[in-house]
Amino acid sequence: MMIDSFSTFLKPDWSFEHLMSNMYMLHILVIRREHFFKVGRMRIECNGSQDYYLALRSAPTARHVGHIPLILYHWRQIPGSTAMDIDAKPYAKIAQIRSLTHAIKQT
C-alpha cells in the first residue's frame, strides 16, 4: 500500500465561524504564552482534541489572528492515525464534540 504523505490541504483565511464547524488549522497553532494562561489550561476531558479546544478558547479574545499563506507543514499519514482514517481514534471525535460544546457555552 502506498501512503500519500503530501496531500495538500490549503487553509482559508481566518474565520471563527469556519473554525466552529471545522478544525481547519490542524496542528499549526501558535499563541502567546500570556494569552495561553489567560484563557486557561487544557481540560482533561478534551484530550484527543487539545488543539481544537485551544483554538476555540483562545480565538475570541486574541488581539490578532493571522494566516500565513504558505505550505509550512505536512501531516504524515500512517496506519492508525486520523490523518489516514478519521475513525482511527473514536475518542478524538468525542473530545472534539466536548471542545465545541464548551466553546458554544462560552459564547
Where along the chain do its domains lie? Answer: 16-106
> Measured in Å, how far apart are the chain's first and last C-alpha atoms?
45
Residue 3: is its pLDDT beyond 60? Answer: no
d(CA 58, CA 99): 12
Higher pLDDT: 21 or 6? It is 21
**Location of C-alpha cell 505536512:** 74
Q: Which three cell numbers stand for residue 78?
A: 500512517
Taking residue 29's Cβ as centre, other Cβ atoms within 10 Å add up to 14
- Read off the amino acid at residue 19: L
Q: Per residue in 15-53, pLDDT tens? A: 999 999 988 887 778 889 999 999 887 788 888 888 899
Q: Per residue in 48-90, pLDDT tens? A: 888 899 999 999 999 999 888 888 777 777 888 877 787 888 8
**Location of C-alpha cell 492508525:** 80
Q: How far is CA 85 from the centre of its chain?
A: 17
